[in-house]
């Protein structure tokens, strides 16, 4: 993508105060429930359609969006512990949900391309020309919003969702390699050596690496139209590159698809590490490695459950805590809930991010907020 093309779809260097920022329709804050000793507060308001988050080396919080088509930079310029300035780095983009930060550069994933802004924290008021990483991602928008993150191997991992509710997965060729929808892929930071690492993944919108084993864990959204209570959404673990997690033939480890499955067909699918519940729509996830929370939280997984859209009785709309021991999930329970009350929704968690002080940020794309959870004892 050259600079002229980018300028047609992005407005660069628009510095806004919070009072003048683009906003979702601001709703009254809900009463949220957490375990004893924890506190939650609105860290910043007015980040319309806030989705994936990434933290810069100098404390800038970068936030992607989906429907809003914007990428934000949030800064604390008065040192009061919360952002007071929002910079809209770009707008008019094609669902730039996925963002990642590495070695001073901000990577942004649209549906059809990945680009980066070099040394972005030194140029927030006048961002540099974007550099194309890849401009040939599939352009299908159904499950086409990308989640991206850098792994411990230095590779950029990119989710390629299935372009359907349920269907046979199409292949596509890039650089002489056969890639496939319904997969998690990885590439070098410059876009070379693109390859599949996980297959049969309907739609992952969040992944992280176990700090103890370096294995990739990822959320997966289960298929729709099999009723209120099946299949469950999943949390999965990739033990080795190339494993197949079953889609479209098998769901939740044991449920053969009524159209594409066959008896015994689930035996070859990698089973989930945990079942999260039907239609909860798990998005961002993170292992907790901080020391602010009590010791029993270290190594736990936090999952943002965006919430059901077609269930008779709504489900999700919370942040779930999963306890992990020796690489296995041994229990789970809600960590933050209350965005769903009497079938009314006041917020939808989209991503979770641990801060350097051990607090936890939660993006809420329904209300356009970033929440902060801290432990006060």
Q: Is the entire prediction scored with pTM above 0.85? A: yes
pLDDT at 17 over 70: no
Percent of the chain with pLDDT over 90: 90
268: phi then psi, degrees, rounded to nearest 5: -95, -5
* Structural domains of the chain sorted by starting position, each given as residue range(s) with its CATH number in brackets: 3-375 (2.120.10.30)
* Token pair of 291 as six digits: 């020391």
pLDDT tens-digit map of 26-83? 456 789 999 999 999 999 999 999 999 999 999 999 999 999 999 999 999 999 999 9
pLDDT at 377 over 80: yes
Residue 264, pLDDT score: 82
Write down the residue that tokens 């959204």 correspond to. 221
Residue 29, pLDDT score: 78
Please compute the mean of the pLDDT values over residues 303-330 and round it to a whole number.
97
Residue 265, pLDDT score: 82
Mean of all residue pLDDT scores within the chain = 93
Using pLDDT thresholds of 50, 70 and 90, give the confidence band for residue 25.
very low
Calpha distance 200→204 (Å, rounded): 11
Q: What are the DSSP calls for 351-369, one per residue?
A: EEEE-TTS-EEEEETTTTE
Sign, CA dihedral 322-48-280-344, equals positive
Q: What are the DSSP calls for 63-116, one per residue?
A: EEESTT--EEEEE-SS-SSS--EEEEEE-S-S---EEEEETTEEEEE-SS-EEE
217: phi then psi, degrees, rounded to nearest 5: -110, 145
For residue 11, give the 3-state DSSP assignment.
coil
Residue 9, pLDDT score: 41
The number of residues making up the chain comes to 377
Residue 11, pLDDT score: 36
Picking from 6, 250, 264, 305, the residue whose alpha carbon sits closest to that of residue 128 is 6
Low-confidence winner among 10-24, 115-129, 330-344 (lowest mean pLDDT): 10-24
pLDDT tens-digit map of 127-158? 999 999 999 999 999 999 999 999 999 999 99
Contact 187/177 with Cβ under 8 angstroms?
no
Please compute the mean of the pLDDT values over residues 5-23 and round it to a whole number.
37
Calpha distance 2→17 (Å, rounded): 30
Picking from 213, 214, 100, the residue whose alpha carbon sits closest to that of residue 157 is 100
Q: Give the DSSP letter of residue 262.
A: -
* Token pair of 147 as six digits: 């989640």
Residue 268, pLDDT score: 92
Using pLDDT thresholds of 50, 70 and 90, give the confidence band for residue 15.
very low
Cα 22 from chain centre = 22
103: phi then psi, degrees, rounded to nearest 5: 50, 40
pLDDT at 7 over 80: no
Q: Give the DSSP letter of residue 33.
A: B
pLDDT tens-digit map of 187-229? 999 999 999 999 999 999 999 999 999 999 999 999 999 999 9
């Amino acid at each position: 993508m050259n600079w002229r093309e980018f300028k047609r779809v992005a407005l660069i260097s628009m510095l806004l105060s919070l009072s003048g920022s683009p906003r979702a329709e601001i709703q009254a804050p809900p009463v949220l429930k957490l375990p004893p000793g924890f506190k939650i507060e609105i860290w910043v308001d007015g980040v319309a359609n806030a989705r994936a988050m990434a933290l810069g080396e100098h404390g800038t919080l970068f936030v992607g969006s989906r429907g809003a088509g914007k990428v934000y930079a949030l800064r604390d310029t008065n040192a009061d512990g919360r952002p007071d300035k929002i910079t809209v780095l770009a707008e008019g983009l094609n669902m730039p949900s996925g963002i990642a930060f590495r070695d001073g550069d901000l990577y942004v994933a649209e549906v059809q391309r990945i680009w980066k802004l070099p040394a972005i924290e030194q140029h927030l008021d006048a961002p540099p020309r974007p550099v194309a990483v890849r401009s040939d991602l599939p352009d299908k928008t159904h499950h086409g919003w990308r989640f991206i993150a850098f792994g411990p191997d230095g590779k950029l991992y990119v989710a390629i969702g299935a372009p359907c509710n349920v269907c046979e997965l199409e292949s596509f060729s890039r650089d002489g390699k056969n890639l496939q929808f319904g997969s998690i892929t990885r590439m070098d930071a410059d876009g070379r050596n693109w390859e599949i690492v996980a297959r049969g993944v309907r739609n992952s919108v969040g992944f992280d690496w176990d700090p103890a084993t370096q294995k990739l864990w990822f959320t997966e959204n289960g298929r729709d139209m099999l009723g209120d209570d099946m299949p469950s959404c999943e949390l999965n673990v990739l033990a080795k590159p190339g494993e197949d997690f079953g889609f479209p033939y098998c769901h939740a480890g044991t449920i053969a698809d009524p159209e594409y499955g066959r008896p015994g067909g689930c035996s070859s699918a990698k089973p989930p590490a945990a079942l999260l519940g039907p239609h909860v729509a798990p998005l961002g996830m993170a292992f907790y490695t901080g020391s602010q929370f009590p010791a029993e939280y270290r190594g736990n997984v936090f999952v943002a459950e965006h919430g059901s859209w077609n269930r008779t009785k709504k489900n999700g709309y919370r942040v779930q805590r999963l306890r992990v021991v020796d690489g296995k999930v041994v229990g789970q329970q809600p960590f933050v809930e209350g965005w769903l009350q009497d079938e009314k929704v006041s917020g939808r968690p989209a991503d979770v991010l641990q801060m350097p002080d051990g607090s936890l940020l939660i993006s809420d794309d329904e209300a356009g907020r970033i929440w902060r959870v801290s432990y006060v004892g």
